[in-house]
């Protein structure tokens, strides 16, 4: 598959502050690629470097093999959907969508026809003559999308475009964005701090923290095989337990929990000593026979589809479980001592 964007050892410094440290990644053509991380992790800075709003302190950015790091934004065949949409308030919806085409020198009739087609694509055909202020937030969002897609960029950059929408609209737009990406065949680079959003839409995700890429992988890889503590903790819920590594080789480890339980698990590290063990709360079952762990129930929280058990392991560490609310087994009462069985692959030894 062709590489759309290749970021090579990119560094961004603002005076003494380093915002991005040695970031490298390859993004394939036609990929829905997400930069995910907490605020301040450098994801937006990286996106702005791709758009051309921030210069690159060190390193290189290639767009289909061409160096673009020193080009101004207007010379880069990429377009951006801004977090606040940035629709031009004095232009109509149609003029907004046609703006990029006009700047590229397309004639009036042709660009208006194309802009109208783009509005059709985002289901806003009847709104061409309105001003942005006359639209709802969700509609403005679609105009911003249509405007950025109209010039047929090689890569579309999306800077937390859904963050200003309410929950229902956000969920609907997730599906629509993904469909739009498949329909247009354009590479999407999507920035978000919302892990659910990232998991729902992305082909691949780059998890970022403190100016560094922590892990790049498919949503499944990121969730099920996090490489380090940060990724395991940031994506989804997990129980992190400090354990002593007894032996580790070929990606398998035997570890001892503080309470004395021994667990065999997958390992993302090859070094011994103390490491964090991640156990997802939904990958654990109650078991009377031959349990892997023992715990004491502290609280049972009823969540409808799920039951949330807050327990404490024998070693004293807090441990959360999520059980589906389908089983007819009697629920343990607070104070009860229970046996826990880990599903295959539930536990994972992490690098720091």
Partner 1 sequence: MKGVRHYPGFLAITLLCLLVLYLPLTVVAVYSFNGSTSITSWGGFSLRWYADVFTGPEAARFGQAAWNSLTIAIIAATVSTVIATAAALAMIRGGRFRGKTASYALINLPLLVPEIVVAVASLIFFTTIGLTTGYLTILIAHITFCIPFAYLPIAARLSGIEGFYEQAARDLYASPWQAFRLILLPLLGPGILSGYLLAFIISLDDFIITNFVKGAGMETLPTAIFGSVKQGIKPNIMAISTLMLGVSVLFVSLSYLINRRGRPAR
**Which residue lies nearer to partner 1 by CB, 52 or 219?**
52
CB contact at 8 A, 8 and 213: no
What angle (nearest 5°) sits at the alpha carbon of residue 158, between those of residues 154 and 164?
Answer: 155
CA distance 20 to 301: 41
Minimum distance, C-beta of residue 159 to partner 1, in the bound complex (Å) = 10
**Which residue lies nearer to partner 1 by CB, 13 or 53?**
53
**Which residue lies nearer to partner 1 by CB, 76 or 229?**
76
Minimum distance, C-beta of residue 37 to partner 1, in the bound complex (Å) = 21
Cα atoms in the 13 Å half-sphere on the side-chain side of 219: 14
**Which residue lies nearer to partner 1 by CB, 142 or 348?**
142
Minimum distance, C-beta of residue 79 to partner 1, in the bound complex (Å) = 6
**Strand extents, DSSP E, the chain:** 3-14, 17-28, 32-36, 58-63, 66-67, 78-81, 155-159, 187-192, 204-209, 212-217, 239-249, 252-256, 262-267, 273-279, 284-286, 293-302, 306-313, 318-324, 337-342, 347-350
**Which residue lies nearer to partner 1 by CB, 154 or 212?**
154
Minimum distance, C-beta of residue 44 to partner 1, in the bound complex (Å) = 12
Note the residue count of the chain: 352
**Which residue lies nearer to partner 1 by CB, 135 or 201?**
135
**Which residue lies nearer to partner 1 by CB, 53 or 301?**
53
CB contact at 8 A, 187 and 154: yes
By CB under 8 A, name the binding residues for partner 1.
51-53, 72-74, 78-80, 82, 84, 86-90, 99-100, 103-104, 131-133, 147-148, 151
CA distance 144 to 165: 13
Backbone angles phi, psi at 177, to 5 degrees: -60, -45
Nearest C-alpha neighbor of 294 from the set 284, 303, 306: 284
Minimum distance, C-beta of residue 77 to partner 1, in the bound complex (Å) = 9
Minimum distance, C-beta of residue 326 to partner 1, in the bound complex (Å) = 48
CB contact at 8 A, 158 and 191: yes
Minimum distance, C-beta of residue 197 to partner 1, in the bound complex (Å) = 21
Minimum distance, C-beta of residue 134 to partner 1, in the bound complex (Å) = 9
What DSSP string runs through 110-145?
Answer: HHHHHHHHHHHHTT-GGGTTS-GGGS-HHHHHHHHH
CA distance 291 to 340: 5
Nearest C-alpha neighbor of 29 from the set 63, 72, 53, 73: 63
**Which residue lies nearer to partner 1 by CB, 88 or 336?**
88
The H-assigned helical ranges of 1-136 are 43-51, 93-103, 108-121
CB neighbour list of residue 62: distance below 8 Å, 6 or more residues apart = 3, 5, 6, 7, 8, 68
Minimum distance, C-beta of residue 290 to partner 1, in the bound complex (Å) = 60
**Which residue lies nearer to partner 1 by CB, 115 or 347?**
115
């Amino acid at each position: 598959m062709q590489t759309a964007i290749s970021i090579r050892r990119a560094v961004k410094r603002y005076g003494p502050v380093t915002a991005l440290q040695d970031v490298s990644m390859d993004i394939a053509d036609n990929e829905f690629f997400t930069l995910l991380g907490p605020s301040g992790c450098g994801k937006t800075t990286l996106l702005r470097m791709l758009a051309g709003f921030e210069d690159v302190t060190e390193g290189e950015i290639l767009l289909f093999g061409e160096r673009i790091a020193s080009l101004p934004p207007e010379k880069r065949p990429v377009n951006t959907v801004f977090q606040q949409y940035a629709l031009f308030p004095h232009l109509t919806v149609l003029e907004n969508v046609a703006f990029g085409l006009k700047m590229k020198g397309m004639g009036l009739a042709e660009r208006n026809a194309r802009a109208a087609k783009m509005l059709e694509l985002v289901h806003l055909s009847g709104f061409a003559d309105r001003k942005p202020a006359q639209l709802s937030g969700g509609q403005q969002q679609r105009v911003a999308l249509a405007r950025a897609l109209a010039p047929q960029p090689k890569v579309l950059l999306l800077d937390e475009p859904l963050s200003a929408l309410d929950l229902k609209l956000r969920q609907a737009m997730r599906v629509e964005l993904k469909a739009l990406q498949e329909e247009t065949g354009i590479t999407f680079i999507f920035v978000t701090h919302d892990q659910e959003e990232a998991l729902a839409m992305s082909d691949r995700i780059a998890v970022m923290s403190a100016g560094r890429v922590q892990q790049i992988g498919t949503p499944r890889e990121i969730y099920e095989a996090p490489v380090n503590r940060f990724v395991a903790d940031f994506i989804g819920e997990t129980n992190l337990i400090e354990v002593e590594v007894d032996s580790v080789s070929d990606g398998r480890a035997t570890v001892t929990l503080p309470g004395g339980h021994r667990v065999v698990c997958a390992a993302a590290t090859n070094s011994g000593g103390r490491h964090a063990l991640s156990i997802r709360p939904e990958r654990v079952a109650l078991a009377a026979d031959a349990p892997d762990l023992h715990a004491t129930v502290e609280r049972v929280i009823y969540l409808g589809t799920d039951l949330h058990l807050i327990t404490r392991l024998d070693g004293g560490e807090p441990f959360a479980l999520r059980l589906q609310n389908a089983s007819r087994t009697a629920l343990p009462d607070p104070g009860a001592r229970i046996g826990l069985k880990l599903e295959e692959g539930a536990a994972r030894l992490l690098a720091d």
